[in-house]
Structure 1
């Protein structure tokens, strides 16, 4: 090309012409006639040079054009002969061109000037607009899988919609997809199984019938393992390990872990139904991680009260079962160990902060006062973190503020955040969910955390606590703390007002010793009575004003039955102390014949608050967990933000329907 350039473009000719013109002008100095002849000859040379250069420029342009056509032909030939489907579409998804392979893919349909989404609705045209080029890993069409590769090009079209086109290549990856799917289906999954009420079942079964019950438990687990083509091993009298493929786990999940019901149906002389807790680890990269994940899931299943399966899939958790009331199996040995550990932690701390859930109730304040008394007995300053009171605890807090010994008992969140340091012990009571606490920021700053809670373990939990006592079989946090106080030190003496608060906490969560009331509950109440708790004073903490009573009555009156045995209502607009009214109304509805579960909604400045109650046949925790809440089988709650009352009511209805559907399947 360089050779052609030198031959056709002679810029030095202009230099020669300039030199000739110079000499022509000199000739004019000697002879005008000769100079004129020379000038005429010069003009002929200029004309000739202009014509020749123009002609050669045309030849050069023609050469370049022919070269461009040759290159266009090569590019077109490459596109036409590419061995995979290719389609060219405009910015709105209109097909402008496609190759024979794409025509074959589309079974010979007429495609030009029609939207690609008309034939392939799932085609992601919006993704193409967002990026110049890229890959869509998997797209299913006509029972085959494709990986889409695309690039963007610009045209000279006047129409703005046609200025950008996309070249989309379709790479068939069906075989790769099948291999990947098969690999995923064959991955190893571990399931840890525990007969969670083994000791209780054995102790309540006649000795002559125990072998038959134990044999039936093992037989049904073995039968289930055989049905899912799994290997199984009994490695303790109540513990099993099952190894299965992931595809079998999916079948088991679709059947809602039917083995839970099969085991619960055992009736061979056992007075207590047998229940299992199952922990499954799914989707882990290695067998070691899968094994560890399954153990973590089992711990969560046990912490939620048992009789359920928990599948841990990465950071996601899925729950199955958990519909029966757990059997109490706490031991006083554990309470004694926890109390001793707590005392050691308090003694090695500079000061103690006590925090509960946002929106305190009598149970949380009572439990906080029990911890406060332990800290003061150990000679440490202790403070209850509280920004604002509410109608449920106003009467108790007023009594505390009237007594000189409780001066400075409460500390605001901002002050606590400024004072907390590495030597501060933060004790969380009546919740184990960070987002539910009075101040999640305080949790983040604390280096030493202790957790006491009686709620069934949630997927969200405080996972960096140095001491945790989560006991879902306890009636209340106040019951747990009362036991801890007894074993903290034989010489400890709680104040009568503290005993009142603890007894009020137990009374609140048991609904006057009706729900979740066990032997240990009465033992705790008996201890508090001996410590000076006054039932009359406790009763006064529950008294309402006339407005609250009227609002509660109106809420109960407007209740509707949305399903057999399930009532729903909502507090009147602008109800004072709406959250308290909703909880009380939900309790009151259970006193009506034919109602076994109740849900009451109320509107507050923070959002829509929901209180749920049940007599036990409906698991209120499972229902409200679907809405981000938690609690117990018989009592739970949640909060919905940025939503209207009508939308919240519909979401509650949907959650109930989903729960009932799961129970039927």
Structure 2
């Protein structure tokens, strides 16, 4: 057929050339033989002759083409037999053949009856989505779906024979979509600061405020056809379908913002929600875990936890509010001491590239262990401890004291047994533990941290206290020691290191500072913490000062109020230096957030970030498996260059910066 069409095209071209030459001859004769009087009649006759000839030419080739098509157009029954053809009709299966150029040669009656009869057209023009599928198909059993005239077809391609098999899955897809839309979704809605508001507001105002908020919550969920029931004075349970949830998700759970906006000093709302499993009790358990994570991250946000999938964080645009009080701290400290007493020994660690706060908090835990009479060791591997911290520890403690306080990685394995309690401070993300290789599925882990809870919290955590409102882990441990039922001894050296941790994380009380921070510092001073030594430990060397200025001079401002500083990829920079540069940059007027990128080892590049509270650093760096808290966060990258990490950061800023701004 294709050969015949080509012959027709060639013949048409030759005939057109002959026509043009003939017209040219007539025109030349007209100019050179003007005395001849019958040109008009000859021209008309010639034109009529050409029209008749063209018509005959068209009829001849059309008839020949039609005859050829009738001879080559086989029915499916001629190819595969009547019985198989009936089976294809019953199963709603279509067949289509193409040539090597993807031009359709034949389609069976099932497709023709469905008006999918596009012989001589490219199949990729008829179904554009097939083009990408054909380029990326790897497995012969791989299929794709296309929609045509309100029908959904699943297509399987056998490339060796250019055969396309169409299966009508419209009914199945409709049922699947309906089933998915009606799948159960369960969640919990909690006024996460209900007790604090109740104790600080007079009864009349509290009643009015609570009634207003409850009305907002119930009417909001009712608008989306969500069943909501009160299970406690500060907690609701919600049940809905996946379709209702998708509508809530599209709205980004705006009730959280509405509750916050109702009163700046009033309630905030947290929501934990789960779906993707038919067992209601399992979904309720997952939703309970999600609401716990939301509260651990400071509340005022939504945590979505689909079954067997990763958590998704929505909101969390405000700083966590302090919710600690002496009674709560005393209760938590007593629980921690009970756990310590129930174990043979205690192994303590911070995060990788441990700073003053991590080591200071470790020393605070060790003081609790000494009080309980339990042997304890802090994991201290020189190459994974910041330079300033190493110098400070070695200047404060003798070699003998250090041997009784610290162990390296090898010593940690010798110290650890099945009855060991592992306490991790200043970190809750397993990817950032100083030495995660010592942990196994039977490890008993306790976490004390001030960073927002990560979605990858270890499964075998038996106790944790995570308070994002605290300035530092050292602040939390200072409160534990002070408010314990019994007096706990804390040496001046331990207190000085813990004070260093507070000074570092608050940048000398400039950020993340609350009344509790000053109280914790006062507690440490009462134990003999040395301000001058702490300040001296945190001072920069001249080389560090020069390097800091060098990094700050190499910066870009990709967005208004956002500064990105870059270290030379050839320089290995202490992680503390990156944090110092970020803090210094925040002293510049007009800078809302700063991200500093530098190489911290031969294989690792780190981003350290700080903000003034108008941009959520943690939200941004969580997109790259980082963590931290609202105004200070970090992320670590393996086997990448500084420029590659910069490009990755710019992509994250482009995609998520607007969501991370709190003043939108």
User: CA deviation digits over 1:564-600, x for unaligned, max 9?
Assistant: 2221111234335342221101000111111121111
Q: Which residue of 2 aligns with 1:294?
A: 287
- Give runs of aligned pairs for residues 344-359 of structure 1, distance below 5 A: 344-359=338-353
Counterpart mapping for 1:2-151 below 5 A: 75-78=80-83, 82-83=88-89, 84-88=93-97, 97-103=106-112, 105=114, 107-111=116-120, 114=122, 116=124, 119-122=127-130, 124-125=133-134, 130-131=139-140, 134=141, 136=143, 138-148=145-155
From 437, 441, 445, the counterpart of 2:437? 441
Look up the SS of the partner of 2:376 in the other structure.
Answer: strand
Q: CA deviation at 1:185?
A: 1.1
2:374 corresponding residue in structure 1: 380
* SS at structure 1 position matched to 2:314: strand
Find the aligned partners of 1:596 and 1:119 in 2 and give their Cα distance: 49
Q: Which residue of structure 1 aligns with residue 47 of structure 2?
A: none
Matches within 5 A, 1:575-594: 575-594=571-590
Alignment of 1:497-646 (within 5 A): 497-604=493-600, 605-646=602-643
Q: Tell me by how many angstroms 1:621 deviates.
A: 0.7
What secondary structure is seen at the aligned counterpart in 1 of 2:454?
coil
2: CA distance between counterparts of 1:446 and 1:503?
Answer: 34
Corresponding residue of 1:22: none
- CA offset digits 1:160-199 (Å, max 9, x no partner): xx8x326443221112211211221122222211111223
- Structure 1 residues 107, 235: closer, same or farther in 2, change over 3 A? same
Moved more, 309-318 or 530-539: 309-318
| Alignment check: 8 A CA contact 1:475 1:517 kept | yes
Match of 2:243 among 241, 247, 250: 247
1: CA distance between counterparts of 2:569 and 2:80? 72
Q: 1:202 to 1:396 in 2, by over 3 A?
A: same
SS of residue in 2 equivalent to 1:508: helix
Distance 2:297 2:628 in 1: 10
- In structure 2, the CA distance between the partners of 1:508 and 1:178, relative to structure 1 (3 Å rule), is same
Greater gyration radius:
1
Once residues 136 and 212 of structure 1 are traced to their aligned partners in structure 2, the CA distance between those partners, rounded to angstroms, is 59
Q: Within the alignment, does 1:413 sit opposite 2:409 as a pair?
A: yes
- Quickly say closer, same or farther: Cα 1:200–1:374, change in 2 above 3 A: closer
Gaps of 5+ in 2: 1-76
Q: Deviations over 1:483-509 (max 9, x none)?
A: 222355634321111100111111111
Give the deviation of 1:104 after TM superposition. 5.0
RMSD: 2.7
SS at match of 2:118: coil
Q: How far apart, in 2, do the equivalents of 1:170 and 1:110 lie?
A: 16
Mapped to 2, the partners of 1:208 and 1:302 lie a distance apart of 27
Of 361-370 and 594-603, deviating more is: 594-603
| Mapped contact 1:136–1:148 kept (Cα < 8 A) | yes
Contact 1:551 1:575 in 2 (8 A): no
Tell me, in whole angstroms, the C-alpha distance in 1 between the residues paired with 2:138 and 2:620: 42
Alignment partner of 1:212 is 2:203:
no
TM-score by length of 2: 0.81
Matches within 5 A, 1:215-294: 215-267=211-263, 272-294=265-287
Whole-Å separation in 2 of the counterparts to 1:554 and 1:252: 48
Quick check: 2:102–2:124 contact (8 Å CA) kept in 1?
yes
What is residue 317 of structure 2 aligned with on the other side? 323
Does residue 364 of structure 1 match 2:321? Answer: no
TM-superposition CA deviations, 1:45-85 (whole Å, max 9, x none): xxxxxxxxxxxxxxxxxxxxxxxxxxx96734455553231
Residues 219 and 346 (structure 1), Cα distance of their counterparts in 2 relative to 1, 3 Å cut: closer
Contact 1:93 1:125 in 2 (8 A): no
Residues 12-48 of structure 1: CA deviation (Å, up to 9, x unaligned): xxxxxxxxxxxxxxxxxxxxxxxxxxxxxxxxxxxxx
Between Structure 1 and Structure 2, how many residues are aligned? 578
Deviation at 1:94, TM superposition (A): 6.6
Q: Quick check: 1:135–1:147 contact (8 Å CA) kept in 2?
A: no
In structure 2, relative to structure 1, the CA distance for the partners of 1:488 and 1:399 (3 Å cut) is farther
Question: Equivalent residue of 1:295, what SS?
Answer: helix
